Amino acid sequence: MLNIQSYVSLKPYNTFGIDAIARYWVTISHENDLYTLLHLTEFIETTKLIIGGGSNILLCQNFDGLVIKMNIQGIDLIREDDSHVYIKAGAGVNWHELVQFCVHNGYAGMENLSLIPGTVGAAPMQNIGAYGVELEQVFESLTAVHIASGEKRTFTHADCAFGYRESVFKRELKGQYVITDVTFQLDKHPTFHTRYGAIQETLTEMGVSESNLSIKAISEAVIRIRQSKLPDPAQIGNAGSFFKNPEISKVQFEALQTQYPALPGYPIGDDVVKVPAGWLIEQAGWKGYRSGGAGVHAKQSLVLVNYGNATGDEILHLAKQVQDSVKDKFGVVISPEVNVI
């Protein structure tokens, strides 16, 4: 049964802890409730905002529409073959809980994505990724409902048009669909990804060698790394990485390296290099910066934080200052990963 509320504070529902107000609010726990909601005459023309864990949004104003909190639960093994298992999870399932379910059951592929905040439904929209693995590598399909027509549709991997922290749901189909569940293809025989970041170093510290390497060990290493460098939103408001790592031409990268020999880079093609945005931001002098309630985290420059009383506009103003500074110093444009509302 639908319980549509009016004038609800969104502070508990966004990890930045911004106190914005939703004109209308509803939680959806079952797919049938979503169909009912989308056919309510009084809300057909109302602007809608779909949220999961609220871990990738920056609220810069009150929302004069209907906020739909997706809370559909359930994790099911739907089929398997000699090499793979296929797991379907509801859009409201906590992402880390899904990863831990897979690790516990020996289903490989998600372990590098441990402790990423948010929910399953938001994951394909953003094509979340960390430590050398992106969601699209384990994605099989998803089910979504068209907001205007109420039509249910299955999206394949190709339909989603995944890119770096991108998908069709952030571009051509932005705001048009509500994702209700996602199906993942996991491996029975793991391929370990340990070369990115500090994973190998952390595994060594944990006493893990090649002979006893496991997806559980990799998951635990990733959790240790994330906890050591990323602030807990329950303690300091943040949305994780605020900016994407920019992709620049090999020519530009080599030119920058002549000026800045320590500049890291990860080739992702013959002529393209991915550069850590956190390194650029730190070199531009922003690490640990604070102005009022808004700041750049002292341990990870990629993370903008709300120390308790910042507005969304103050966070956004800081983000633009950081962007301008990096562009002026390096000639590199860094783009927000977070969705500004």
Alpha-carbon span 182 to 202, nearest angstrom: 31
153 is catalytic: no
Q: Half-sphere exposure of 145 toward its Cβ, with a 13 Å CA cutoff?
A: 20
Task: Name the catalytic one among 111, 134, 220, 337.
Answer: 337
Task: Name the catalytic one among 141, 241, 301, 314.
Answer: 241
Residue 66 and residue 74 in contact, taking contact as beta carbons nearer than 8 Å: no
Task: Name the catalytic one among 55, 111, 114, 165.
Answer: 165
Alpha-carbon span 13 to 190, nearest angstrom: 35
CA-derived radius of gyration, the chain: 21
241 is catalytic: yes
Work out whether the CA dihedral 152, 339, 195, 112 comes out positive or negative: negative
Strands (DSSP E) found in 200-297 = 237-238, 247-249, 266-267, 272-274, 290-291, 294-296
Alpha-carbon span 81 to 26, nearest angstrom: 39
Please state, as a whole number, how many other Cβ atoms lie within 10 Å of the Cβ of residue 78: 10
290 is catalytic: no
DSSP string of 30-54? SHHHHHHHHT-GGGTTS-EEEESSS
Catalytic (active-site) positions: 165, 241, 337
